[in-house]
Structure 1
């Protein structure tokens, strides 16, 4: 997830400029004397924080047919430019972008003229180190994300729009004597266009927002997509699927979705329509694999019309193919939200409701640890929804208990990822009463209890370009210690998740970022921030903490998301001011795009020890107009865990009808 490195942009410009032409949303610079490659440079203003840079090998500006952008025009007002014999400077309210005519570099500065990034000159010398030293900026950078979008901890990101023609060079190795081990270089293929977006932001959330400004909003999945997904290689027949679903219901194990990873043409579903009616009668959804590059005409006619709810793509797709499936379903049914599972990490898929599967995990503890960092990087690369796909299999009878433990630890982690997926039925892991089975059931129930919190985060992903899984640097950018933490993360603003990735351990080390206090979610025990500590991590549980000021809305254990859940338990963690907004809509359709949703703001004032439940805004069909809210106040003096019986000292009851209410502790 994190690398110390030097970021080099390919230098194409080493010329003098004679013509600068103002466009509606930027400037075009025609070069009098050119190198062998660049003759024209275009700076396009997307918004105050996002600038597109393109260089063309001729004076004719061509269009990039494979562009990731979802727009055609940028910002036409609110920016200016100036030209001199030395440079052309484009200015927005947040940025100065200078094209130096003699040296051929592009330099990005913030509104205070503080250097953010400078391209190297054609001789390889850069102003970056000298300017940063003058302004006492860090000389080292940490990078997050995955190509083609890379995020720096120094307030910028780069999105390459000619990703198919870009090579990735990482010269890091384990040899300390190698001076270039931390260098990363991007180079375009010979003769290709230079085409990238420079994205500036004071926070990493702003950088992700800039990425989605370019590549499209992340739509809200249907609420059932946030519940448990169960897949199995044995789900190739109608009987196997229905038997699997019935077992979940008989065991009272919560589930919303069942997947056949075998394509419909190779599966044995003699009466798919009847099978889907039976699955839907059990209040569950069904996803099926599509043949490689199947057309929507084929999919819609053969299977969507029979009631299939979601799609499983075994091929690695791109945005164009995902778009064809998404738009095809939208044309056939513009009411219900679609969901597409795919193994691709291609960019810009979030706008087509694609859930990325991390499909390269193997059956090992090492890969479990790596997946924590991979998931965080993928999230920071603008992909909000992804799911684990660990290849955890039992080799032989002697490996049964190690297999159980490893799979259990994977699922404990999976319960706090954007999309919750299982690859084995729980009773095939261990019998009821075994610690493994008990843990799988516990975290499935906890996932559903947290659904009000999780679904609200999904709303934030659309409306505020939020990120669910968050490396600590996103929320604690001024805490230097978190820069070296890649095995724990924030799940939303409130919860810190610390997966266990070592065999047969009952403890793990946790760094508590600089906050007034943290609380063990299971017990309510307080832990000071800014410290490392070895915490308990028994077989059945992974460490889970809530930060001071956290407000976590929870429901009750459900068997599926279609069950009505009107009343809430609101956990409020003392030690700092806090806020959270509960988001609700009609759960399955696209009416939220028409404004049919509600929001209830919760605000905690620590100095006054007062909680305000704000006025409910918005409206939708079937909304809850009256509810009971049980408020649980957790502090050093009153520790309470989410599983403990609530004492009268710690809990309070509010009757809420949509009007503002206050509660003092």
Structure 2
């Protein structure tokens, strides 16, 4: 123990002391909002927890996202000049005794990350609902060649967040996770639950705060807004001056022209904007309906669309000169009775400031972040899961195909759809019952409407008899008239604002209800108990936790959203705004494992937060739109969500909210049998989306009308039908590969859907590639997201050669090529050194044992793969009941070793055959032609095969 440190500590003077977990630094505090205490706790040799506060002591509150950690003591503390150095086998953290600034170095002394000079910390006192706290900011320096990923799942189609801004809050289609992953092989887990921001901490400002505005005639003071009603409307056009374009929620749309019929209208905002300073202005467009934006007579936002009740945000940046007037025109076509439009902007900041790693939160007790280092991005994500919990292995059936729609309205309808899958011999494992299976006025009762679902238990049994599973939608929402609401309400566990304001939802005449408080541990137990009593006895297999943001009401301003979902049992909703989905998932996971400890839990939730993976929970990207740009945005959204440390992600294949032209297209086709232009596009959109979806962690179709069952998309024999069925069958043939990846998420903290930067980071070309990715270690997926495209550009990372998945043709790495992308096929490639197992054709995951597996081995590099197997439905894998068979390929000797099997489980195949197909530059063996390989019998002992 260092005597000087103890002396300073005992006097509460500037200095430091070593603690059991790390070091505590006391700073010379000049202002009451300066850092007073900085604490570094060593979690393990690669993870250090940094806390800072202006107060005399740190908060005692337990983290909601970090699980308890084993004590780690293998570190040293020493003083060097004016710094304290905390060292482990892998890291050095250097803290300034003068400023509290922290720097992180690897074991060789290479800097990994440093806080801004002086510490980069800011504390602004706030008081909410009589609770004191701080608005918090932490800034770090960042070199020019750094790239940032993670932050959850957002919809602006941004991939590398370097130099970007992102607001972190939960909303339909937007999932925020406060974890940043750097290509420098470190991550920052920001332990805060309030609305947060990455990058610029400022909210987007109104146009008149950022620019001088001129109308279409050059008059200073605002833009010209012209509102032209649709055909056959008696209303007159409205022309008026708009100082701002800010109609973004149910409050601000009241500022639109009163009683104007917006559905089918055409709205134009035009004039000029004059910048007040030089630099890059960052804009946020908020829109529902159709919108196009032109700036300086250039189309900066090509036409985008969202349904009226579910707006989206899109961001763009434009360099502007101070004093120069630039034409601005926004063309907006509202598509519904209520629609939203907004354009706001951020004034310039310096490139140096914009490119920093900066995190801001609206409310917290103190700055709390975890620095996680690693030798690779996978290693960093492993550290993240060390902190927030292991990812469970999903049930094997969940790796198969799921069919869903909004919605199966009767028992006969859902059973009829499943029967049709079986009749057509299209593989499926899970069918989903969406909302409103209850009586119309009984949301939250967990009871079925007997007129439409006369025998719920018989329905579930019938699904099981057809060798499928059933997932059901359960919301944290209750109508005030239900007994379940009253049971929560008696305990004070219901959010009250929606009830006080008599907010009625969209069902029938509209009913008043609210959401339960998932931050209460006892409320969570009651939520599960109600499900256990009413739904679990039916034999339901999985839970769909919808609207878990929580979304009490669509399209409200942020302050009202906070009022609707609080106060929580832990404190103001401002402070705990983002973690509801995590708490709700805990309720189900702990509840089911307590009730039925041997049955794997499966949850699907529309929102998420750091740590979600420990509750066997997947997330989907919400009620996205059915547009090509929305399909493309899901690629980067899924990759960043996966790089946020949560490996199971999915989406509504085909998009949820449908353009009316597609609905009209199917109605016309049903009436005439003729495929019009819109319906032709609809079929191609779904074909491309299914191709992409087959190579995501979970494979799931869902959406509004038109229906998403393959025969409702196109008839048998149509190329859309053929392609969708082909990729569904391929998904099942790849099940030995896919389920092994699921095993790796638990045993190796693996990530299934992988940005190229994770595996090919030495090739800097991949830093900004967010539209192609690795599916596991071997297969590169390249979705096609443009209508009519029959080619697409594909970059082949330089550190390896590649093989065409279908033909086996070899391609060199390090090149960008325009590749063939016929209607029926998505470009897929396999890296050199890959080992890919293929199982039998199946109708469901348990139909056949993989007695015969075909193993494709791709020459050019050494390679390895481990075939993982277990019982598929229970938690025996946690007790060691599983098997692993290692495959090791030596490229120099062209030999494959099938290693000794490790482990065992009930029902394991003791004898099987492997047929090994060798693929190299002279043997272009693709999966689309029948190729015979070398067949060997395997009984668990090592075998070597010369290829």
Q: TM-score range by the shorter chain?
A: over 0.9
Q: Does the C-alpha gap of structure 1 residues 402 and 331 become closer, same or farther in structure 2, counting only changes over 3 Å?
A: same
1:84 is displaced (CA, Å) by: 5.2
- Residue aligning to 2:147: 142
1:417 has 2:696 as partner: yes
- Residue aligning to 1:10: none
1:155 is displaced (CA, Å) by: 2.0
- Residue aligning to 1:53: 50
CA contact (8 A) 1:457 1:492 kept: yes
Of residues 601, 605, 618, the one that matches 2:886 is 601
1:662 has 2:944 as partner: yes
CA contact (8 A) 2:139 2:357 kept: no
- Residue aligning to 1:490: 774
1:287 has 2:471 as partner: yes
Alpha-carbon separation, structure 2, partners of 1:230 and 1:99 = 54
Alpha-carbon separation, structure 2, partners of 1:349 and 1:583 = 24
CA contact (8 A) 1:310 1:339 kept: yes
Alpha-carbon separation, structure 1, partners of 2:611 and 2:621 = 16
1:325 is displaced (CA, Å) by: 0.7
Alpha-carbon separation, structure 2, partners of 1:509 and 1:234 = 37
CA contact (8 A) 1:31 1:40 kept: yes
Residue by residue over 1:612-657, the C-alpha shift from the partner in whole angstroms, topping out at 9 and shown as x without a partner, is 100111010000010011111111111111121114xxx1101111
RMSD between aligned alpha carbons?
A: 2.1
1:235 is displaced (CA, Å) by: 1.2
Alignment map for 1:492-641 (pairs within 5 Å): 492-565=776-849, 566-641=851-926
Q: Helix, strand or coil for the counterpart of 1:311?
A: strand
CA contact (8 A) 1:515 1:547 kept: no
CA contact (8 A) 1:29 1:41 kept: yes
Alpha-carbon separation, structure 2, partners of 1:450 and 1:373 = 24
Q: Which runs of 5+ in 2 are unaligned?
A: 1-11, 122-137, 152-176, 201-280, 283-315, 321-347, 440-447, 477-515, 517-525, 549-579, 666-675, 703-707
Q: Does the C-alpha gap of structure 1 residues 184 and 22 become closer, same or farther in structure 2, counting only changes over 3 Å?
A: closer
1:182 is displaced (CA, Å) by: 4.5
1:395 has 2:663 as partner: yes
1:33 has 2:29 as partner: yes
Residue by residue over 1:89-113, the C-alpha shift from the partner in whole angstroms, topping out at 9 and shown as x without a partner, is 1111111111112233111111122
1:160 has 2:190 as partner: yes
Given the two structures, how large is their TM-score scaled by the length of structure 1? 0.92
Residue by residue over 1:261-319, the C-alpha shift from the partner in whole angstroms, topping out at 9 and shown as x without a partner, is 11553453221111111110111100111131580010000011110100011122421
Alpha-carbon separation, structure 2, partners of 1:260 and 1:346 = 25
CA contact (8 A) 1:263 1:291 kept: no
1:247 has 2:252 as partner: no
CA contact (8 A) 1:571 1:633 kept: yes
CA contact (8 A) 1:167 1:186 kept: yes
Alpha-carbon separation, structure 2, partners of 1:453 and 1:380 = 21
Alpha-carbon separation, structure 1, partners of 2:937 and 2:55 = 69
- Residue aligning to 1:110: 106
Q: Helix, strand or coil for the counterpart of 2:696?
A: coil
1:408 has 2:687 as partner: yes
Q: Which deviates further from its counterpart, 503-512 or 178-187? A: 178-187
CA contact (8 A) 2:102 2:119 kept: no
Alignment map for 1:176-191 (pairs within 5 Å): 176=319, 178=348, 179-180=350-351, 182=355, 185-189=358-362
1:67 is displaced (CA, Å) by: 3.1
Q: Helix, strand or coil for the counterpart of 1:477?
A: coil
Q: Which deviates further from its counterpart, 474-483 or 29-38? A: 29-38
Q: Does the C-alpha gap of structure 1 residues 554 and 367 become closer, same or farther in structure 2, counting only changes over 3 Å?
A: same
CA contact (8 A) 1:515 1:528 kept: no
- Residue aligning to 2:613: 350
1:278 has 2:543 as partner: no
Q: Which deviates further from its counterpart, 249-258 or 265-274? A: 265-274
1:124 is displaced (CA, Å) by: 6.9
- Residue aligning to 2:228: none
Alignment map for 1:434-473 (pairs within 5 Å): 434-473=718-757
1:422 is displaced (CA, Å) by: 1.4
CA contact (8 A) 2:607 2:619 kept: yes
1:81 has 2:77 as partner: yes
Q: Which runs of 5+ in 1 are unaligned?
A: 1-15, 133-137
Residue by residue over 1:102-133, the C-alpha shift from the partner in whole angstroms, topping out at 9 and shown as x without a partner, is 2331111111221111111349799987xx9x
CA contact (8 A) 1:115 1:128 kept: no
Q: Helix, strand or coil for the counterpart of 1:225?
A: helix
- Residue aligning to 2:432: 259
CA contact (8 A) 1:376 1:470 kept: yes
- Residue aligning to 1:4: none
1:335 is displaced (CA, Å) by: 0.5
Q: Does the C-alpha gap of structure 1 residues 352 and 128 become closer, same or farther in structure 2, counting only changes over 3 Å?
A: closer
Q: Helix, strand or coil for the counterpart of 1:412?
A: helix
Alpha-carbon separation, structure 1, partners of 2:364 and 2:822 = 57
Q: Does the C-alpha gap of structure 1 residues 188 and 233 become closer, same or farther in structure 2, counting only changes over 3 Å?
A: closer
- Residue aligning to 1:325: 588
Q: Does the C-alpha gap of structure 1 residues 185 and 18 become closer, same or farther in structure 2, counting only changes over 3 Å?
A: closer
1:536 is displaced (CA, Å) by: 0.7
CA contact (8 A) 2:582 2:608 kept: no
Q: Does the C-alpha gap of structure 1 residues 381 and 143 become closer, same or farther in structure 2, counting only changes over 3 Å?
A: same
1:82 is displaced (CA, Å) by: 1.4
- Residue aligning to 1:302: 534
Given the two structures, how large is their TM-score scaled by the length of structure 2? 0.65
Residues matched between the structures, number = 639
Alpha-carbon separation, structure 2, partners of 1:365 and 1:127 = 36
CA contact (8 A) 1:515 1:548 kept: no
